[in-house]
Structure 1
Amino acid sequence: MALSSMTGFARSHGAYGAYTFEWELRSVNAKGFDLRLRLPSGFDAIEAPVRKSAAERLARGTVYANLTVKRADAAPVIRVNEEVLGSVMQVAAALSAKLKAPPPTVDGILAIKGVLEVSEPDETDDERSAAEAAVLAAFGTALAGLIEMRHREGASLQAILSARLDEIAVLAKRADTAPGRQPEAIKARLAEQIATLLEASERFDADRLHQEALMIATRADIREELDRIGSHVAQARELIGKGGAVGRRLDFLAQEFNREVNTTCSKSNDVELTNIGLELKTVVEQFREQVQNLE
């Protein structure tokens, strides 16, 4: 299964009977899945199946779905609201008598809100159901287009993430083979630090000196951090190869990478190791930024 980005865009058009319609879908990054749906009046019945279809095929991202519907070749039906008209005429007659004013004109009466009602032509239940089915089919087409674009973006992200993992592995190997990691260099640094301790105080007993030496040696050893970085690289490669909605798990690994690299930098007392650690921090941050785009 391929990786999928959370960003994408798609449109689909359709027509049925007197209806023409268009779906526009746009998705952006998000921690979870959220469908922001905008439907025209009269199409509320399709909301539930649209949400169900999107939730079944998308795991993460905020998706903005907008439906536009037009009804062509259908003249609107104009009706006179007899109740409103009767009330208006009664008031008009009373005012005309009271004010000795001329009676209202027809166009003036019709301009009063509520006297005329404009509505769409009636349609049968079967016609309406068929139109809604056509709109849902068009949504399926748009959703497929959105998923295809997210997969294309995911393929690009896969190449970038794989390259970043290769860089992390190379830098970790450089750190492991750096001259500052060799036993002779570590021994020399220990001897220097112990000498500094002895100069600071002549009261160190043998046991205390041994404990201090062990603590210094432990702080200088980054073997455990390098092993964990190697393990995280292997896990990340496995997840990328597996594909699917692995963005959350890769984001967790990116945090673990960052933790190990920070510890490596804090333990380093060698210029070359420090520089390698800083390079690792840069690459890990680039990896994390790209992971934020994955589903």
Structure 2
Amino acid sequence: MLKSMTGYGRTKGTVKGYQVDVEIRTLNSKFLDVQLKVPRLFQSKELEIRSLLSEGLTRGKLAVTIDMVQDAEADSSNQVNHELFKKYYKEFEALAKEVNANQSDLFRLALHSPDVMNGSALDEEELEEQWKGVKKLLAEAIVSCNNFRQQEGASLAAELANYIDSIGSFLEQVKALDPERAEAIRERILKHQKEIESSDEFDKNRFEQEMIYYIEKLDISEELVRLSNHLSYFKEVMGESDSQGKKLGFISQEIGREINTIGSKANYAPIQKLVVGMKDELEKIKEQLLNII
């Protein structure tokens, strides 16, 4: 089942007197690129958060935000983090003295510093309990984002299947035209043979050897078989349980090689027109694969 790298997931909940909002937005990227915005309270959990995201979302450009707002009904004694306020105030006071600045506004600056109004300091045990709740909401947001990606992936899979079928249709037309192409080449060879047989320098054995070489260079039967196999394999990989964007990219490269070889060896305008059509469909496939995990 294919997954798109474009996704969105969001969960909300209450954790220990706080309203927690977790939001994940994802875009396409060759690798895992995570941009985190988390409360100061959980900055020490950044590595664990990144590990959860890597395991659950694999790759893509991720913008992850965890917001926490204290409930209005919570105990008012928890509205100010006293210890953090004092720390900010002392730091600002020391800096003001160092540069001889006015200290009249230090109280307001310290009071409105990050996380001062988010509640009193938690001990390690309380912090872990709160983290368990936030972690659960993060896991739910990851699942929600993955569901979104699967829905987008299903749409992309339908488009890719149509493009592959279109290349297959062009391929069948090439196969139908190949006998006609062979006959046209045969007629050209016979015509040139008659023109050069009258020459005194004509060497029949050498001519036959060169014709065999020439005909082998024009033969596209192997390319037609390989292209057909690649198209079938592409669909097979699309149906696998895990999304295989990189593998599909490799297969599309092989498809391109066979199409290019058919175009260069065909030497027949009607077939070359079909080759242009196949290349156009392949470019659409490559563009869509950029957004597949």
TM-score (norm 2): 0.81
Contact 1:8–1:146 under 8 Å retained in 2: yes
Matched, 1:75 2:74: no
Once residues 170 and 91 of structure 2 are traced to their aligned partners in structure 1, the CA distance between those partners, rounded to angstroms, is 84
Once residues 93 and 226 of structure 2 are traced to their aligned partners in structure 1, the CA distance between those partners, rounded to angstroms, is 83
Instruction: Mark the CA change 1:50 to 1:222 in structure 2 (over 3 Å): closer, same or farther.
Output: same
Counterpart for residue 101 of structure 1: none
Counterpart for residue 288 of structure 2: 290
Once residues 40 and 282 of structure 1 are traced to their aligned partners in structure 2, the CA distance between those partners, rounded to angstroms, is 49
Contact 2:57–2:142 under 8 Å retained in 1: no
Shift of 1:45: 2.9
Shift of 1:193: 5.2
RMSD: 3.1
Contact 2:4–2:149 under 8 Å retained in 1: yes
The CA deviation string for residues 127-152 of structure 1, in whole angstroms up to 9 with x for no partner, is 32222111111111110111000000
The CA deviation string for residues 201-244 of structure 1, in whole angstroms up to 9 with x for no partner, is 86342233123212321232111111110110111111011141
Once residues 39 and 93 of structure 2 are traced to their aligned partners in structure 1, the CA distance between those partners, rounded to angstroms, is 30
Query: Structure 1 segments of 4 or more deviating over 6 A?
Result: 80-86
Once residues 163 and 90 of structure 2 are traced to their aligned partners in structure 1, the CA distance between those partners, rounded to angstroms, is 75
Counterpart for residue 144 of structure 2: 145
Tell me whether 259-268 or 10-19 shows the greater mean CA deviation: 10-19
Once residues 285 and 192 of structure 1 are traced to their aligned partners in structure 2, the CA distance between those partners, rounded to angstroms, is 40
Counterpart for residue 259 of structure 1: 257
Counterpart for residue 236 of structure 1: 234
Structure 1: segments with no counterpart, 5+ residues: 93-107
Q: Which amino acid aligns with 1:33?
A: L
Q: Which amino acid aligns with 2:277?
A: E
Secondary structure of 1:12 counterpart: strand
Once residues 264 and 155 of structure 2 are traced to their aligned partners in structure 1, the CA distance between those partners, rounded to angstroms, is 34
Give 1:94-113 correspondences, 5 Å limit. Answer: 110-111=104-105, 113=106
Instruction: Mark the CA change 1:193 to 1:55 in structure 2 (over 3 Å): closer, same or farther.
Output: farther
Q: How much identity, in percent, do the aligned residues show?
A: 27
TM-score (norm 1): 0.81
Shift of 1:18: 3.3
Counterpart for residue 131 of structure 1: 130
